[in-house]
Amino acid sequence: MGADGANRARECVLSATAFSASSLVVSGRRYEKRLRFGRTKHHILQIMADNTPRLLTVAVTSRALFDLEEGHALFEQAGVDAYAAHQREHEDDVLAPGVAFPVVRKLLALNQGTPPEMPRVEVILLSRNSADTGLRIFNSIQHYGLDIVRATFTSGEATWPYIKPFGTDLFLSANPESVRRALSHGVAAAHILPRSPGDQVAAASMVPEEAARIHKSAQGTVDFCAERAQLRIAFDGDAVIFGDESERISREQGVTAFGLHEQQRAREPLSGGPFRNFLSALHTLQAAFPAGQASPIRTALVTARSAPAHERVIRTLREWGVRLDEALFLGGRHKGPFLEAFGADIFFDDSLHNIDSARQHQSVAAGHVPHGVANDPP
């Protein structure tokens, strides 16, 4: 293919990947290689049209995946130019892991044993950096051996519009507004909150050993289905897996009225909440592995409900054909200690009160789901 052909092919790829002066969507590492080796436009389009279904697609923002708080503070205080200069200056400095890093690492480990072109799980990176300043992020991804190949860099513009085209089942972001927009478009989404100052240092010091394990795993010498590698996900019930209709009763009429309401409707399934589809996708993914403790994924419902309000929940999940490995009916107890006992890597809840409780425990990534009556404007 001559220079004209290569240019035409390049134009074709760039338009197919929504490239513009201010945004870049990198849709798989292979297109770059194809350009380099001068394949035809037809070949490239075939690759770009690759819609091999994944069992689970998770989109994560760069600020949830890595600790970019220092750069973010500089951006807020000194503006985009100072931020860009800082990131370029530190391009070869590996970023410390962010709050969502351990979860992403465990998600990607679920692809062990699958062909690279047919992963069970895909993680997409969404970043408001420019592609230029985002180089540090890709360098860090490479450093930790994370198999993330699709990414968007939007130069300050919102990233959430790209969530749907990627077929995202779960969106994790450090930006609450992006999370609200994703939820309003029907995608399960959570605002990943930092734990407490100093935790990032602790996480960073943990990583060389963890990264070494990942590299070993790539060589097939470490079994990522070992107990410590098991991904444990905990969900609140009302306004997360389920709709918030019962929670409204509780808030408006009190706990006694709520109990009575749920008891009377025990055989009437609850409506689905923002995480229903994600839970179903996770359930399908779990089915690809052995059941029980040997499974690399374990799930728990951690709800403030207690008897007799438990029955409606159990019957609803039965109706949906979805199983959670554990169900904790806590009757209003603080959730944090129970999340730690379960060993949750990540926990999703609509109530900031419960999220604050989860944040007391360093091993749990707390994902706030700004949905339902608890998050209605005052």
Catalytic positions, written as ranges: 236
Burial of 158 (0-12, 13-18, 19+ CB in 10 A): middle
Q: How many residues bind Mg ion (CB under 5 A)?
A: 4
236 lies in the site for Mg ion, by CB under 5 A: yes
The single residue among 122, 169, 345, 350 that binds Mg ion, judged by CB under 5 A, is 350
Complex with Mg ion: residue 181 or 305, whichever CB lies closer: 305
Question: Smallest gap, in angstroms, from Cβ of residue 90 to Mg ion?
Answer: 40
What is the DSSP code string of 27-46?
E-THHHHHHHTT--HHHHHH
122 lies in the site for Mg ion, by CB under 5 A: no
Closest to 136 measured CA to CA, from 172, 61, 171, 86: 86
Closest to 232 measured CA to CA, from 120, 324, 346: 346
169 lies in the site for Mg ion, by CB under 5 A: no
Closest residue to Mg ion, judged by C-beta, is 238
Interface mask toward Mg ion for 189-218; x: CB under 5 A: ------------------------------
Question: Smallest gap, in angstroms, from Cβ of residue 356 to Mg ion?
Answer: 14
Question: Smallest gap, in angstroms, from Cβ of residue 258 to Mg ion?
Answer: 12
Stretch of residues binding Mg ion (CB under 5 A), selected from 24-32, 71-79, 237-245, 337-345: 237-245
Complex with Mg ion: residue 19 or 329, whichever CB lies closer: 329
Alpha-carbon gap, residue 273 to 267, rounded angstroms: 18
Stretch of residues binding Mg ion (CB under 5 A), selected from 90-98, 145-153, 173-181, 233-241: 233-241
Complex with Mg ion: residue 106 or 335, whichever CB lies closer: 335
Complex with Mg ion: residue 96 or 234, whichever CB lies closer: 234
The vertex-68 CA angle with 65 and 69, nearest 5°, equals 125
Question: Smallest gap, in angstroms, from Cβ of residue 305 to Mg ion?
Answer: 9
Alpha-carbon gap, residue 198 to 191, rounded angstroms: 20
Contact 122, 107 (CB under 8 A): no
345 lies in the site for Mg ion, by CB under 5 A: no
Question: Smallest gap, in angstroms, from Cβ of residue 279 to Mg ion?
Answer: 14
Stretch of residues binding Mg ion (CB under 5 A), selected from 23-31, 148-156, 185-193, 239-247: 239-247
Amino acid identity for residue 312 in this structure: R
Contact 99, 195 (CB under 8 A): yes
282 lies in the site for Mg ion, by CB under 5 A: no
Closest to 72 measured CA to CA, from 164, 173, 202: 173
Question: Smallest gap, in angstroms, from Cβ of residue 371 to Mg ion?
Answer: 9
239 lies in the site for Mg ion, by CB under 5 A: yes
Helices 69-78 and 80-89, packing angle to 10 deg: 150
Complex with Mg ion: residue 288 or 373, whichever CB lies closer: 373
Amino acid identity for residue 14 in this structure: L
Measured CA distances, 372 to 10, 183, 246, 320, 326 (Å): 45, 11, 11, 21, 24
Complex with Mg ion: residue 244 or 345, whichever CB lies closer: 244
Amino acid identity for residue 211 in this structure: A
Chain residues 10-69 in contact with Mg ion, contact rule CB under 5 A: none
Which residues of this protein are in contact with Mg ion, per CB under 5 A? 236, 238-239, 350
